[in-house]
Structure 1
Amino acid sequence: MKKILLLSLGLIFSQTLINFSLESKFGDGISIKNSGSTEDSYNYFENLLDVNIQFNSGVSLWSQLEYSDPPIFGMYKNGLNKFYFEFSKDLIDVKVGDIYTLYGNGLGLNLVLDQNVDLDNSITGLELIYYYTEQLRLFSLIGKGQYNFRSNPAMINSDRQLYNTLFSGGFEYGTNNFGTLNGYFLNQTSEISKDMMVLYNNEHLDTRIGKEFYLRVPYEDFRDDTLTSVIKNFSWFYIHDYFDFTVEYSHNNYTKLLGENELGYKIYSSISAYLGGFGITYEYKDYNEPYFIQSISGAPTVYQESTSILASRYTHSINFGDEIGHQLEIQKSLNDNLNWMINISQANTHVGLYYNISSDTTITKQYKHSNPISLIFMNLTDESIAFKPFRQINTEISGYGLGEQLYFQIGLNQLDEVYKYHNTIIRDFDTNSLDQLISSVNLEIDSIRLIELGIINSQYQDNLDEINFIYQQYYEACYLWGYCNGLTPNEYAADTFISEYNITYQDSLDILESNHLENYTLREEELETELLNYRRDQLYEKKYSYEKQNIFTLPTRFSWKFKNGASISSYYEYQWRNVEMNHDYNLVDNTNDKRSTNIEKYNNQYFSLTYRSPSKWSITYFYDSESHVKKLNNVSWSEEFNKWIGTDFSFDINSNSQLSVFHGSQKGGRVCANGICADQPGFKDGFKLTYRTFF
């Protein structure tokens, strides 16, 4: 159908202007995952041709043809991938085809194409805009689309799908004195399969939507479902001489998976001002649709996506359905050649759940919401942990020196977050009987130790008595009955013992004692762990299960421009990353059991050096390294060092075309755009070629 439509357009309209944009990528090597522990062959051949045509009649056409076998992300593609045509006449704009559009700040509708993260949430349909007056604009949208997405950014291919149908209509009214008002409604239906129900059910430990679905719907009731959503959205944008302000509210009446209707909302606001030489921007978000599957929206992330190579590999994965956050950015020009910036962002979920266990029941409760100011300082109390707090501080100073031949950029990035939270279990004890409980548990432990080690001693004594009894029998046979064969009783007993058992009497005693000591020591060590576990399970007051990371990055960049037009640039970054898989137990006697908590410490370095010739070619050397130590119960169980070295040569064929060739190894990492992330695997001992042209 798409091909027929394109051919018809080509015959009907005489073209006046056409241009092409081609990007081809080829790679062949070995992929590396999990810090070098998993290797597999990795190759791709991806070709994207964008065609833009302007017709005399006022019609414009954009299409994208793709041949990817295989692509970097996703499935094999061959043919017309995307297209749309636009028509503008007097007071009407019409767009037909694959629609990419943004309403307001994207809280309700944001249809985008970003192949760097394999994101395409477009619909195929019709968009109309009618300019009723100079101030009033009316718009509507109708269409269908399949949205493919990943449950885990590390996956190469999408594992989840929604089939969306939507209809939207709204207005935009601009005034001279009161800014711009925007309002629209959106009606969306989404078809979801039974297989996807299973996937959400399986993530009940990690997400609110999975936990709620797991507790509410039994497995035998899983089936295909059609979800509905009715969104009413209003926004206001105002520009003043001294500040800019915007606020947007989106109300959502949606259905849960195999469930009833639920009310949700999104709020976003931003204010920017220039005060006393400082540029100040503050943003606020409150996204509260925890059981709604996000597909056609893309709200502001309200945190800064770092340009640092190392810092960008470990960025915050926003939850667009359940997150409250703040961002403050301050910029200052210190002089004509020197600039300073600081950005602080903080976020957390709406609900912090924990399990309260009393003597006869278990109740799921919610913590009181944490103060966002306290979360800025990441004071990880029991309450704040349950809200999966995130904080990022990024500051840098940049500028020119030495007659603008030198450019420098020095930064600092600190990220702290609880990125996984499973649960906190709190048990209620009778405080008046705690001493008695502790005493009884300690007595039970002493009793178990006495019994278990007593059994081993008893077994040793039984075996010792048996050996001595046998020896004594031989001794008495000589001493009492005279069966000595000319030997003394001891000599006769010793010879008879060795002839019967092929071992001397003394050696058998030594071996028995040695085995006893070994068994006793081993059982004593086993008991130590077993009894510690028993004491922990009987006396713990709080039990945690969450994962957090603390990352500190120092990025630098220096560039020197020579008088002949050549330049040399370098990036050097160092990063400390600590990851904690916390499974601590807090006991009623004010002690902590940390034996199950796993600690990982990473030290990462990145360095690149680029020389760019005035004849439009450049060569770059890359060095990337990672060392890590993993500890359990404060004992190292894994230490590893990996490095990736590569060289890239790029040549500007002309002003519109560039060829780039890379050979070597590259470390993989997370790539994010507007809160959507995908993990690119590492690349070892490989070859990459990229060609870009515009004509």
Structure 2
Amino acid sequence: MKNIIIFGAISVAYAQVSFSGNTETRLAESSSGYYYNETLINTNLQYDAFTNWIQLEYSDPPELGRGINGVRKMRLEYDNGPVKLKLGDLYEIWGRGLVLNSVDDQPIDRDTGIRGLTLMYNNPSFSTQVIAGKTDISQSTINALGFNNRTHNYHVSHNLYGLNIQKLLGNHDFGFSFLQGLEKHPVNTFPEDTLNLKNQLHSLSYSYMHSVFDFYTEYIMNRSYEFDEDRWSSHGKGKGLYGNLNLYFNLFSLNLEYINYRYAMIDPISRFNIVDYYGYNQPYQNPPVAVHIHENVLMNRISHQTDFNNEVGYKAELIGSFSDNIEFLSIFSQSNRTHSWVMDENFMWKKDKELSFLPKFDPAAMPFKDFYTELTFRTLQNKMFIKVGYADMKDIIDLLQNTVTDTSQSFTYSITDAQTIPLNFSYSFSNGWSIESKIELQWLSKGYWWYEEKNNQIIADSLMSIFLDDNGKRLDQEKNTFISFTVSKSPKWSLTLTSDKTSVKESFLDNKSIVNPLEKFLGIDQERNWVNVEFVYHITSSMRFSLLYGSLKGGLLCTNGVCRIIEPFDDGFKIGLSTVF
């Protein structure tokens, strides 16, 4: 009888427990010495109202970041009706992220998670959340020692606590957020090597839901203080505004977004200097950007990097369908800084004119604009899929000089200007076979624009391109081509051949690559091509194996306005194994 009772108790307990998880192992080595070996294991254990998440990492070294061998993340959650408690590594977003949006973006090694405690209460008309903990954030910057593209070289810690409240009245939702952080900020100044800062964020939000539209807006204020001897002294203050309006019609919808971030006005040379300029936008905020995040490879490489301290912009997105088989998407986005900039008589930057609340393309305010449109076709009983697009982007990256007198102006800035055509095609056969092709063509201009005017006469107004031909002659444009072709047999395997080609070299970069036998076999120019082949095999429905051989170009990789340079991968292997259990 005793054994029966014990067996019954174990059976009941086991029935209430669920266990799941996944693993991912990635191994790579190139002929140039680039090597990584990393394994991530996620486990989720649920028992009644409790959930436990643990992430283990074994990396020696990882693809990006510092190596870890052991527990990387862990969290315990208790969820009982309107009350939820979380203890451990927290990733939370309040509203649209103007005050708090902690993320773990592993492709660019960006982790702004908080290790601490949060308590939430929710009912249909009211919700509140209290959070307290510590976040240690690592970033890469040329303004600190030890910079490289693979491992972060600047580390800042924040002790945080805050409160978020939401109140629903009919279709109206009102919100309030407060978050304070005590920051240990390393600097390069003598005799101090670390500053004690206090950063405070307050925001008010409002949203309205309707059957044909919805609206959201949030206004944020920030204050920062620096501890000086025995008291806190004011260091800086700023503000920000975000708005979003969605309109819904029968065959299409219109999405409008607006940002106006005025946390700090930092000169063009120093605006991304996170070491010497502090107390403004915080890395755990991650607010929205007025930029379309492109899925296509070539467009993502030239993505605009948002200045979260000082940027005004908007994005308009129109999406809909002409018929059941034809869909369309059109997006226009534009932004600039809140002021134009000019040099004084000592060649030091100073603010010039304050611009309006809507952006315009004034080069002295480092503007950006991007237009993208695409059409999607589905035909032959949805067996054939075609998507064709067009993108036109122009971005003023940096100001180098802008001196103005009564009779002259000398103006130099760096600019990126590109037109891109992406084309996707796929066809599914009835026996499980399918083919897919992706083609991207891009015409890229990049260099330094020089404008010179004296006595109302324009002396120079032209681009000095950074692109050179083999004889050292400057070329106006670089043509980039990205092509991939995939053959697959569902549900077992797929084989993809990818070619990434550029027409010229950049004059300030050494693009020499290691000989790739695959490129040699195909008889292509190895100095301007990166070719690889990838085989993917599903061992079971929950286990996937991948093998890649060849070269990858690398370049800029951006997510939500934050960018990271990924190093090229020359003539090597990449192996991946992922499982779900």
Give TM-score scaled by structure 1 length.
Answer: 0.71
For residues 353-408 of structure 1, give each alpha carbon's deviation from its aligned partner in whole angstroms, at most 9, with x where no partner exists.
Answer: 21244xxx878653334467773xx4xxxxx1121100011100002112322100
Q: Secondary structure at the match of 1:341?
A: strand
Alignment match, 1:368: 353
1:276–1:595 CA distance, 2 compared to 1 (3 A): closer
1:89–1:591 CA distance, 2 compared to 1 (3 A): closer
4+ long deviations beyond 6 Å: 256-259
Q: Secondary structure at the match of 1:108?
A: coil
1:256–1:333 CA distance, 2 compared to 1 (3 A): farther
**Which letter maps to 1:79?**
G
- Cα distance in 2 for residues equivalent to 1:599 and 1:107: 37
1:41–1:168 CA distance, 2 compared to 1 (3 A): same
1:22–1:236 CA distance, 2 compared to 1 (3 A): same
- Pick from 581, 591, 604 the counterpart of residue 448 of structure 2: 581
- Cα distance in 1 for residues equivalent to 2:423 and 2:576: 27
For residues 237-268 of structure 1, give each alpha carbon's deviation from its aligned partner in whole angstroms, at most 9, with x where no partner exists.
Answer: 21101101111111111137988432211211
Does residue 193 of the first structure (1) align with residue 186 of the second (2)?
yes
- Cα distance in 2 for residues equivalent to 1:651 and 1:598: 44
For residues 184-211 of structure 1, give each alpha carbon's deviation from its aligned partner in whole angstroms, at most 9, with x where no partner exists.
Answer: 21111111113xxx3xxxxxxxxxxxxx
1:250–1:373 CA distance, 2 compared to 1 (3 A): closer
- Pick from 79, 83, 97 the counterpart of residue 92 of structure 1: 83
Alignment match, 2:199: 229
Q: Secondary structure at the match of 1:311?
A: helix
Alignment match, 2:242: 268
Alignment match, 1:627: 503
Q: Secondary structure at the match of 2:300?
A: helix
Does residue 421 of the first structure (1) align with residue 395 of the second (2)?
no
Contact 1:294-1:321 at 8 Å conserved across structures = no
Q: Which has the higher strand share?
A: 2
**Which letter maps to 1:165?**
N
Greater mean alpha carbon deviation, residues 179-188 or residues 647-656: 179-188
Does residue 353 of the first structure (1) align with residue 331 of the second (2)?
no
Matches within 5 A, 1:373-522: 375=360, 378=361, 384-428=362-406
Unaligned runs of 5+ in 2: 1-12, 265-277, 468-476, 509-524
For residues 455-504 of structure 1, give each alpha carbon's deviation from its aligned partner in whole angstroms, at most 9, with x where no partner exists.
Answer: xxxxxxxxxxxxxxxxxxxxxxxxxxxxxxxxxxxxxxxxxxxxxxxxxx
1:364–1:599 CA distance, 2 compared to 1 (3 A): closer
Contact 1:606-1:625 at 8 Å conserved across structures = yes
- Cα distance in 1 for residues equivalent to 2:124 and 2:358: 45
- Cα distance in 1 for residues equivalent to 2:37 and 2:258: 42
- Cα distance in 2 for residues equivalent to 1:276 and 1:244: 15
- Cα distance in 2 for residues equivalent to 1:615 and 1:236: 47
1:591–1:114 CA distance, 2 compared to 1 (3 A): closer
- Deviation, 1:293, is 4.6
- Deviation, 1:80, is 0.2
- Cα distance in 2 for residues equivalent to 1:403 and 1:579: 44
- Deviation, 1:564, is 0.8
Contact 2:373-2:391 at 8 Å conserved across structures = yes
- Pick from 318, 321, 328 the counterpart of residue 333 of structure 1: 321
Greater mean alpha carbon deviation, residues 287-296 or residues 240-249: 287-296
- Cα distance in 2 for residues equivalent to 1:666 and 1:90: 49
- Pick from 39, 47, 51 the counterpart of residue 39 of structure 2: 47
1:371–1:257 CA distance, 2 compared to 1 (3 A): farther
- Cα distance in 2 for residues equivalent to 1:683 and 1:306: 22
- Cα distance in 2 for residues equivalent to 1:668 and 1:362: 36
Alignment match, 2:420: 553
Alignment match, 2:3: none
Contact 1:568-1:610 at 8 Å conserved across structures = yes
Matches within 5 A, 1:24-43: 24-30=25-31, 40-43=32-35
Alignment match, 2:429: 562
Alignment match, 1:682: 568
Contact 1:92-1:128 at 8 Å conserved across structures = yes
- Deviation, 1:310, is 1.1
- Cα distance in 2 for residues equivalent to 1:268 and 1:254: 21
1:264–1:22 CA distance, 2 compared to 1 (3 A): same
Q: Secondary structure at the match of 1:41?
A: coil
1:348–1:618 CA distance, 2 compared to 1 (3 A): same
Alignment match, 2:153: 159
For residues 408-431 of structure 1, give each alpha carbon's deviation from its aligned partner in whole angstroms, at most 9, with x where no partner exists.
Answer: 0000111101011234111345xx
Does residue 139 of the first structure (1) align with residue 140 of the second (2)?
no
Matches within 5 A, 1:254-265: 254-255=224-225, 260-265=234-239
1:91–1:595 CA distance, 2 compared to 1 (3 A): closer
Alignment match, 2:528: 642
1:78–1:228 CA distance, 2 compared to 1 (3 A): same
- Cα distance in 1 for residues equivalent to 2:121 and 2:252: 40
Alignment match, 2:139: 149
- Pick from 169, 174, 179 the counterpart of residue 181 of structure 1: 174
- Cα distance in 1 for residues equivalent to 2:84 and 2:528: 55
- Cα distance in 2 for residues equivalent to 1:179 and 1:370: 33
Contact 1:395-1:411 at 8 Å conserved across structures = yes
Query: What is the number of residues matched between the two proteins?
Result: 521
Alignment match, 1:213: none
Q: Secondary structure at the match of 2:34?
A: strand
Contact 2:447-2:463 at 8 Å conserved across structures = no
Alignment match, 2:550: 664
**Which letter maps to 1:237?**
S
- Deviation, 1:17, is 0.7
- Deviation, 1:94, is 0.5
- Deviation, 1:42, is 0.3
- Pick from 107, 130, 155 the counterpart of residue 98 of structure 2: 107
Alignment match, 2:21: 20
**Which letter maps to 2:444?**
R
Greater mean alpha carbon deviation, residues 574-583 or residues 72-81: 574-583
**Which letter maps to 2:252?**
F
- Deviation, 1:272, is 0.4
**Which letter maps to 1:336?**
D
For residues 226-245 of structure 1, give each alpha carbon's deviation from its aligned partner in whole angstroms, at most 9, with x where no partner exists.
Answer: 12111111111211011011
Q: Secondary structure at the match of 1:71?
A: coil
Does residue 127 of the first structure (1) align with residue 97 of the second (2)?
no
- Deviation, 1:590, is 2.1
- Cα distance in 1 for residues equivalent to 2:348 and 2:76: 57
Give TM-score scaled by structure 2 length.
Answer: 0.85
Contact 1:353-1:423 at 8 Å conserved across structures = no
1:224–1:154 CA distance, 2 compared to 1 (3 A): closer
- Deviation, 1:584, is 4.4
Contact 2:479-2:502 at 8 Å conserved across structures = yes
Contact 1:356-1:427 at 8 Å conserved across structures = no
For residues 333-372 of structure 1, give each alpha carbon's deviation from its aligned partner in whole angstroms, at most 9, with x where no partner exists.
Answer: 0001000110000111112221244xxx878653334467
Contact 1:584-1:597 at 8 Å conserved across structures = no
The percent of aligned pairs where both chains have the same amino acid is 26
Alignment match, 1:542: 409
**Which letter maps to 1:419?**
I
- Deviation, 1:144, is 0.9
Greater mean alpha carbon deviation, residues 643-652 or residues 144-153: 144-153
1:559–1:364 CA distance, 2 compared to 1 (3 A): closer
For residues 204-227 of structure 1, give each alpha carbon's deviation from its aligned partner in whole angstroms, at most 9, with x where no partner exists.
Answer: xxxxxxxxxxxxxxx556542012
Q: Which has the higher helix share?
A: 1
- Cα distance in 2 for residues equivalent to 1:220 and 1:60: 48
- Deviation, 1:615, is 5.0
Higher RCO (CA 8 Å, separation ≥ 6 residues): 1
- Cα distance in 2 for residues equivalent to 1:362 and 1:691: 56
Contact 1:627-1:640 at 8 Å conserved across structures = no
